[in-house]
Chains A and B, each alone.
Chain A
């Protein structure tokens, strides 16, 4: 006979009850439990307000729930934008001017009104203080406020993805009054207009958010969110099973395969598994800018791409927690071209060997180092790829350098094979395609290092600036086909966003890019 944890807890409780514990404690804990959501995250938030936000999951999610942005993506498909603080907007024909009309009656939690001046103040402040937004918000030429409820952004050039940028946490709107009053202290106790307020932040321990009852969309059903910072995955799991936490935020599951958790939790009636597609792409990359050596031959690259057992990788290592990727965009992007599924190389080791023979390259000549990010997940993928390549006679040694060293060698092109990936931080095909494939960016960021190709570059820039939605989609369709046929890499997988939560947690909204949660509608049954 097995004692359930409940029974044992009761026995222990009875035993301890003799030491004069107030009877009220049990009921108080219960009431608190129902209205508090405890979320486990793997690391500290780096910044709690838009001006010091970097693209990290914890701080960004907090900002998303504490501040409002002008617009937000509509669940569950996230292919349309709706107004949040903005009621409506118009975009000029040349794509450079965005004019927003704001809703009335939105207030910050310090009581002041959210008007056009506040929007202007926030965006200008973030541009000034945050070096990370140079490439995105830095495109703004001027911000005008013709009326207290109208804001007009004029960009330096046409950029349709600007709406996606405005939905990012960095575009959150802060209270100018609070900034002036608190000065430096604003970073620790920021004031926004969102459904939650930051009550307390204890580093390495927790972040406490209290509900904002005056939120303009209606008060949240929760009264408190407590983020618990738990760096160890096994500890997070144990806590979820014991009921010490309500939810494991998805960021943790992106750094280690969650197959074991899924196996354990799917049997557990107290725990639910929420899955949604992400826009993250991970690939085996070639140094496409290289002109010499056996890897410069497109047939060799195609051969390597044919040598990878894509489905084996997904089932063996990920056990269903990742999806197949065929090209530069994931299937949940509005610009996804289904044709890439036919164009992408299949798992065919015989064809790989034939191609190598055609190219006159012996497998031994391809022996090289496979570089990868550090960590268990990447190590597992690298090991799998290593085995696949060994099957066609290519021996690779795995190296997982520290991230700064890895970035340095990747951007300098000192590799033949590298495992790389991109997690887009705004919801637009531009996030994957421009940064990944524009040849001029090759040495300045981690990209596919595409060689200089004026036609391709022009197409990328045209798609970035095209105002007409249908035309833009067609351009991206063309881009995907062109890129896939060049085999810049073997597209391996896109990890799903997986959230483990107690079964009584309902109403969660999980954004896809950036992959953060909104807790406004959450409640516990």
Chain B
């Protein structure tokens, strides 16, 4: 097991190096002078040159790359060109917001997608299956911004049930200790704060989870259908096990492993999709922060955020692989 882990980690090193090179060169490729963007249309060339000098933008590229790598080893990701604050601090302060909706979305996706997939597989080719299949198909075909718009209009304005932006009602103001609004609201002890935070989470989580839930439902359905036709299931039925035991204990269990891989892969994709959700709902997370940084050519922030996204993905796939290996004896044997 340890050998497997070490081997996995070793394969990560070249990946990380390539990631760093990609991030750095990509960012440097982005045309447009950050100083120009920061100062706007009314600026003169002299003002722009002064700002460039202040921000050290004139060093040769390789030197900048070297500085950057050296800084990374010490946990220093540089300083935002726009705000002057350390990049790592800026990113870490916004990461909890994104993680909050990402985790929420994963939980909702699993809780909603799994039963749909299972039920669809059990009632295959009959009406419930057709209905649920169309539903999950719609879920994977719906553009996120359309869903967000519809939900905002219907649930937000016309019905007035749910808030449409922000993490908590404007009138609450307390110290944020963890960065996770639910936790901080609870810690603050202000009445109604937790409820407010929860109500603000609903719409973004629904939008973010829809694609994953639908994908999961489709995947579990297909996987279950495969498994249900396998010999061992027939054996279980022949043995006289109850339907429930067969479905959950045998079929579902065997479909779970590949499902974990799917969730793991799609988690990273979902982090990317968070950009759209965060923009529409004014959710102050990392996705939106990175998009703003790209607009204003804030190189250190773009580099840092992309790197963090990549690291999160690598971490997630590592966890998925480990989980997979731990759960599937065949894989374990193959990998050690």
Contact = CB atoms under 8 A, between A and B. Distances in A.
Interface stretch (A25-33, A297-305, A389-397, A476-484): A25-33
A205 interface: yes
Contact of B280 (A25, A54, A232): A232
B156 A226 contact: no
B176 interface: yes
B315 interface: no
Contacts of B31: 402, 404-405
B24 to A, nearest CB: 20
A238 B50 contact: no
Interface string A192-232: 00000000101111101000000000000000001011111
B266 interface: no
Contacts of A444: 44-46
A82 to B, nearest CB: 26
A458 interface: no
A112 interface: no
B41 A422 contact: yes
B40 A404 contact: no
Interface stretch (A5-13, A61-69, A99-107, A467-475): A5-13
A217 B290 CA distance: 42
B61 to A, nearest CB: 18
A119 B51 CA distance: 25
Contacts of A200: 173
B94 interface: yes
B189 to A, nearest CB: 11
A29 B171 CA distance: 7
Contacts of B37: 403-404
Contacts of B195: 16, 21
Interface string A232-267: 101110110110110000000000000000000000
Interface in B245-260: none
B288 interface: yes
A239 B83 contact: no
Interface string B128-169: 000000000000000000000100100011011101111101
Contacts of A373: 41
A445 interface: yes
A204 B42 contact: no
B170 interface: yes
A238 B156 contact: yes
Interface stretch (A127-135, A270-278, A307-315, A319-327): A127-135
Contact of B42 (A43, A208, A402, A435): A435
B160 A404 contact: no
Contacts of B305: none
A355 interface: no
A306 B159 CA distance: 50
A204 B40 CA distance: 20
A33 B171 CA distance: 7
Interface in B33-84: 33, 36-47, 50-51, 54, 82-84
A407 interface: yes
Nearest to A39: B170
A238 B191 CA distance: 25
Interface centre among B37, B51, B83, B152 (most CB of A within 10 A): B83
A135 B54 CA distance: 17
A46 interface: yes
B36 A404 contact: yes
A242 B157 contact: yes
B100 interface: no
Contacts of A369: none
Contacts of A132: 39, 43, 47, 51
Contacts of A25: 191-192
Nearest to B288: A204
Given A132-B39, A232-B165, A403-B37, A244 B32 contact: no
A38 interface: yes
A88 to B, nearest CB: 32
A425 interface: yes
A290 interface: no
B235 interface: no
A398 interface: no
Interface string A18-56: 000110110011001100101000011010000010111
Contact of B170 (A12, A38, A232, A446): A38
Contacts of A446: 41-42
A444 B44 CA distance: 5
B180 interface: no
A52 B38 CA distance: 12
Nearest to A199: B173
A525 to B, nearest CB: 18
B90 interface: yes
Contacts of A361: none
B267 interface: no
A177 interface: no
B164 A52 contact: no
Nearest to B54: A131
B279 interface: yes
A411 interface: yes
A441 interface: yes
B273 interface: no
A407 B83 CA distance: 23
24 contacts: A5-B160, A36-B171, A55-B39, A131-B51, A135-B47, A187-B84, A203-B83, A203-B93, A203-B289, A204-B94, A204-B288, A205-B166, A208-B173, A229-B284, A230-B165, A230-B166, A231-B279, A235-B164, A236-B165, A244-B166, A402-B31, A404-B36, A423-B41, A425-B42
Interface of B: 31-33, 36-47, 50-51, 54, 82-84, 90, 93-94, 149, 152, 156-157, 159-161, 163-167, 169-171, 173, 176, 191-192, 195, 279-282, 284-285, 288-289, 292, 297
- Minimum-distance CB pairs A-B, first 6: A404-B32, A204-B284, A131-B50, A5-B160, A444-B45, A445-B44
Given A44-B83, A423-B41, 16 more contacts: A8-B159, A54-B38, A56-B40, A134-B47, A200-B173, A203-B93, A205-B284, A228-B170, A229-B282, A229-B284, A231-B279, A231-B288, A235-B165, A236-B165, A435-B42, A441-B44
Interface of A: 5, 8-9, 12, 16, 21-22, 24-25, 28-29, 32-33, 36, 38, 43-44, 46, 52, 54-56, 131-132, 134-135, 187, 200, 202-206, 208, 226, 228-232, 234-236, 238-239, 241-242, 244-245, 373, 402-405, 407-408, 411, 420-423, 425, 435, 441, 443-446
